[in-house]
Amino acid sequence: MRLPEENRNMVLLATVTLLAAVVAGVVSMMDVAPRATSEPASIAEQAPVRTVGVPFVPNVNPRER
């Protein structure tokens, strides 16, 4: 049984859509278990960052430099 030439694009589109939906469904079913996350870092534990150069000041009035 051969498909008419004008229907081949629709059959290809339907096949790719179906396969993508199946892959998305399998991935979503495998991702059901919650992932273990580490504790968020406290602000007190973070090392201070040294700024090199002039701090950025936005130019809010472009006519004045």
Q: What digits encode the pLDDT tens for the residues 4-38?
A: 878 899 999 999 999 999 999 998 888 666 666 67
Backbone angles phi, psi at 44, to 5 degrees: -70, -25
pLDDT of residue 29: 86
Domain count, the chain: 1
Determine the structural domain holding residue 5 and report its residue range. 1-30
Residue 35 lies in a domain: no
11 Cβ neighbours under 8 A, 6+ residues apart: 3
Is the residue at 19 inside a domain? yes
Does this model's pTM top 0.85? My answer is: no
The residue behind tokens 């090392």 is 47
Assign 3-state DSSP to the chain and report helix, strand, coil percentages, each to 5: 45, 0, 55
In a domain, residue 62? The reply is no
Does residue 10 fall inside a structural domain?
yes
Which residue type, as a one-letter code, is found at position 48?
P
